[in-house]
């Protein structure tokens, strides 16, 4: 069945190519979404490397991600508060899902669970990350799926993956290899260094456009 999802209009009607160009990340505002996959710990390394490269990072974690890794880890490496609830307890009442998207030059979700991919595909907004991703569809957005290989190969998950790609989300990975559960197959999150190369390619197109 053809997806009826609208397509992003950035840039050039939804086409961010993953070519070989790259840009430095100095001053780039990156909104990092972390969902509840076992590779969430690798997202701390990603956040640390992006911050070291000069990017400004704000992080949103799902409740399930917070079961696997502490928000403090991201706060420590980014020097920024981590957002975990749509009902922010922050004193900064100006921060909401909409403001976070306005602030961002691009959005990266790593790891992206089967669940968050399904929510984005279905337009479901039941927590801060899914609501933010529903707002951000006109921004450059990159997802790094990570899950068990049977989950990844599930036809429903593949339908959702296709739907988010049609909506303009770029994907990096997943890669084949040994998974946390001990199985071998497709489902490993792309390594942070490689995700950064993908981000640099997208950043080069943002800079060219501006």
Ligand X SMILES: Cc1cc2nc3c(=O)[nH]c(=O)nc-3n(C[C@H](O)[C@H](O)[C@H](O)COP(=O)(O)O)c2cc1C
Catalytic residues: 181
By CB under 6 A, residue 38 contacts ligand X: yes
> Residue 16 or residue 82: which is nearer to ligand X going by CB?
82
Among 35, 51, 73, 84, binds ligand X (CB under 6 A): 35
Cis peptide before 203 (omega within 30 of 0): no
Residue 19: burial class (beta carbons within 10 Å; 0-12, 13-18, 19+): exposed
Q: Which residue has the tokens 């969430």?
A: 40
Per CB under 6 A, does 146 bind ligand X?
yes
59 versus 113: smaller Cβ distance to ligand X = 113
Site for ligand X contains 59 (CB under 6 A): no
Does the footprint of ligand X cover residue 115 (CB under 6 A)? yes
Alpha-carbon distance of 70 to 24, in angstroms, equals 29
CB 167 within 8 A of CB 137: yes
CB contact set of 111 (below 8 Å; sequence gap of 6+) = 34, 35, 37, 38, 39, 40, 42, 43, 144, 145, 146, 147, 189
Residue (104 or 129) nearer to ligand X, CB: 129
Told to check if 37 binds ligand X by CB under 6 A, we report: yes
Indicate the SS3 state at residue 161. Answer: helix
Residue from 3, 64, 81, 204 that binds ligand X (CB under 6 A)? 64
Residue 125: CB minimum distance to ligand X, A? 12
Among 51, 59, 62, 132, binds ligand X (CB under 6 A): 62
Kindly list the residues in this chain that would bind ligand X in the complex (CB under 6 A). 35-39, 62, 64-65, 111, 113-116, 146-147, 151
């Amino acid at each position: 069945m053809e997806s009826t999802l609208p397509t992003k209009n950035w840039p050039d009607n939804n086409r961010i190519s993953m070519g070989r160009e790259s840009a430095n990340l100095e001053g780039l505002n990156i909104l990092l979404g972390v969902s509840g996959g076992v590779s969430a710990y690798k997202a701390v390394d990603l956040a640390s490397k992006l911050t070291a490269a000069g990017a400004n990072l704000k992080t949103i974690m799902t409740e399930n991600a917070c079961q696997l890794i502490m928000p403090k880890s991201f706060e420590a490496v980014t020097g920024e508060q981590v957002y975990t609830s749509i009902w922010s307890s922050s004193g900064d009442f100006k921060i909401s899902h909409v403001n976070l998207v306005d602030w961002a030059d691009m959005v990266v979700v790593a790891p992206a669970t089967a669940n968050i991919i399904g929510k984005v595909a279905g337009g479901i907004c039941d927590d801060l990350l899914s609501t933010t991703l529903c707002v951000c569809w006109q921004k450059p957005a990159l997802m790094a799926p990570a899950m068990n290989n049977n989950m990844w190969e599930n036809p429903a998950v593949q339908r959702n993956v296709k739907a988010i790609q049609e909506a303009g989300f770029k994907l990096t990975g997943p890669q084949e290899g040994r998974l946390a559960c001990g199985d071998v197959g497709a489902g490993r999150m792309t390594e942070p260094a490689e995700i950064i190369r993908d981000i640099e390619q997208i950043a080069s197109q943002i800079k060219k456009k501006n």
